[in-house]
């Protein structure tokens, strides 16, 4: 396949390189040689013709060499009919095959569950548009902070802090990455949490329980 691609690309490249060279000649002299009317026309017309000469230089070359390219009138009604019949027969099946395996429903992006309630006791819980946070009792009198990030947040370096008495960043809890649920073991009870971006140096959200 790679060989075939190389052949196609080389042919295309050669075709367009010759076309470009021919195009320059064509604009300067060739066009007027083929059709004397060009001499009577404004020069800008030749520039309009230039791209066409790049595309069709083999035919124009034949014309320059004096070969006729057949000047008979054309009646293509039959050709149109044959083409459209073939399109009508061949294309729909292939189009169908290309999409038959697609599922047309929007695929459900699984949303992360709220913290599982298999713990002994949920002490506090609060939710805003970014987060759901709960403080729960787990075994051995230990406490755990469950934080669910509801959606991907547009920040590069998110960190989670416990807030101090005056509502500022007090103690680091951990980093927050993708959306989903995070579980942190905590030693003391906390008043609230604060989401802070280290690089942007801004508080994204905070709340008290």
Pairing between strand 202-208 and 192-197? antiparallel
**DSSP letter string over 20-35?**
HHHHHHIIIIIHHHH-
Which residues from 28-57 bind another protein, rule CB under 8 A?
A: 31, 34-35, 37-38, 40-42, 44-45, 48-49, 51-52, 54-56
Residue with tokens 């399109």: 87
Minimum CB distance to another protein, residue 72 (Å): 6
Q: Minimum distance from CB of 207 to another protein (Å)?
A: 19
Per-position x/- string for 86-105, each x denoting binding to another protein as judged by CB under 8 A, each - no binding:
-xx--xx-xx-xxx-xxxx-
Which of the residues 122 through 181 are near another protein (CB under 8 A)?
151-159, 172, 174-181
Nearer to another protein, 128 or 177 (CB): 177
Q: Is 90 helix (H, G, I), strand (E, B) or coil?
A: helix
Secondary element (H or E) of residue 110: none
Site for another protein in 174-193 (CB under 8 A): 174-181
Nearest to another protein of 42, 121 (CB atom): 42
**Is 3 among the residues that bind another protein (CB under 8 A)?**
no
**168: Cβ contacts below 8 Å, ≥ 6 apart:** 194
| 65 forms part of the interface with another protein (CB under 8 A) | no
Closest to another protein by CB, 140 or 192 = 192
């Amino acid at each position: 396949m790679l060989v075939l691609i190389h052949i196609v690309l080389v042919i295309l490249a050669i075709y367009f390189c010759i076309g470009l060279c021919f195009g320059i000649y064509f604009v300067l002299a060739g066009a007027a040689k083929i059709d004397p009317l060009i001499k009577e026309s404004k020069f800008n017309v030749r520039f309009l013709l230039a791209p066409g000469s790049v595309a069709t230089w083999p035919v124009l070359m034949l014309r320059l060499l004096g070969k006729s390219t057949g000047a008979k009138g054309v009646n293509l009604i039959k050709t149109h009919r044959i083409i459209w019949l073939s399109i009508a027969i061949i294309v729909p099946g292939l189009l169908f095959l290309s999409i038959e395996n697609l599922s047309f429903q929007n695929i459900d992006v699984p949303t992360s569950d709220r913290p599982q309630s298999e713990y002994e006791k949920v002490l506090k819980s609060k939710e805003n548009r970014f987060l759901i946070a709960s403080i729960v009792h787990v075994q051995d009198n230990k406490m755990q902070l469950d934080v669910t990030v509801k959606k991907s947040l547009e920040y590069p370096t998110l960190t989670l802090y416990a807030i101090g008495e005056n509502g500022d960043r007090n103690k680091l809890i951990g980093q927050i990455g993708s959306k989903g649920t995070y579980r942190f073991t905590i030693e003391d009870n906390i008043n609230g949490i604060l989401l802070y971006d280290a690089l942007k140096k801004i508080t994204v959200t905070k709340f008290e329980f």
